[in-house]
Structure 1
Amino acid sequence: MTAKQPKFDLECGLVRALCDALTLPVDSYEDPHAGNVPERGVDVIAHSRGMKFGVQVTTPDFGVVRGADRSSEAKAYQRAKNENDGVYFHWGTGNPNQVLNSFRRSIEEKSAIAKRHDFSTFSEAWLLISCGVPIPGAVVSTFLPPWVDTGEIDRWTQKALRNSSYNRVFIHSISDPVQRLWVWTALDRRWVQLLGPPAR
């Protein structure tokens, strides 16, 4: 992935990484906005064995001031490209409340958008929160610390998920030595860690 990829290519890459982690065989990925069709509430459609999964993609905003951390890292990368071949330094967050509140906020905002759309044409509608996004200028500010605990994610997000239109919500931490992946389902109404080591 690169910082200059078109929006769909970036989002499709994140969905592809999720499907690979799930070992879900995907026949094709579709851009739901191709051909200037009306907004459908999803960013990528994954076709798998006759099923159609509509996926809304978002990345976390872990900074104290909304958007400031991502902006700061992007600027650091741009400066570094001009000065030292793109090698830059940036601090990630260590504040648990900022991380967990970001998940809650992302779910609330995307769930509000989802309510304005009809997902009946999809086999399932998913929300994907991608962390550790592997592109320059984003990987540190979206990096998920190793102490994130399933129970705490549950506690911080259950209220936001109560009336969600999504069948599944995923938190996928991509840039870890061992990827971490959590899923919440409308059927079970709780988070389960599918991949990666437990919190430490």
Structure 2
Amino acid sequence: MAEHQDETRAAYDGVVELYASLFDNQLETHPFSRAMIGTFAELVRATGNRRVADVGCGPGHLTAMLHDLGLDAFGLDLSPGMVAHARRARPALRFDEARMEALPVEDGSLGGVLAHYSTIHTPPAELPALLAEQARVLAPGGLLLTSFFATDGPEPVRFDHKVTPAYSRPVDHFAELLTGAGLVPFARLIHDPASERGFLDAHLLARLPGTE
């Protein structure tokens, strides 16, 4: 586990300014992602608990988007370079360095977790524990929106991501993993690739059972 995390951290530390310049438009060219994040924010607001973690927040562009959508959002990222950039760019918001497998968040305290393509570098064997950790920090009725590259095949596919190796995953299997983590998947959006990689883009919304 530590080796791939070290590689991911170093890889993203090396592309901070380029990465931030590519994604600082808050999804202006990604309408499906924008729509799902808007839906997620609306549902979180309806729970009455507006505290949300943007896990794998990168340069903080989506943390800011969640804030603009009326949520008490903070960002967490493995890369100290990304966290430093986010703090400089958005000093009014909170950003901390953290591993997704060990979130510095109290049990059952969040209304929502956003994991926007931030699990793509996690090896398949480690994904169930990561999802269980995201479920741990949700309050009853809390929501998780996770987005990832999807494959039509039966198994995850490892590929050479532009930053560091990543995986595309079968959507149904990912939904089963969410169920195994104690969450209830209730909405999905799958669409044609938004990039030249050729994989489908998938967005899954899930809820921790509890208050409706």
TM-score normalised per structure 2: 0.36
Q: Say which structure is richer in strand.
A: 2
Structure with bigger gyration radius:
1
Q: Say which structure is richer in helix.
A: 2
TM-score normalised per structure 1: 0.37
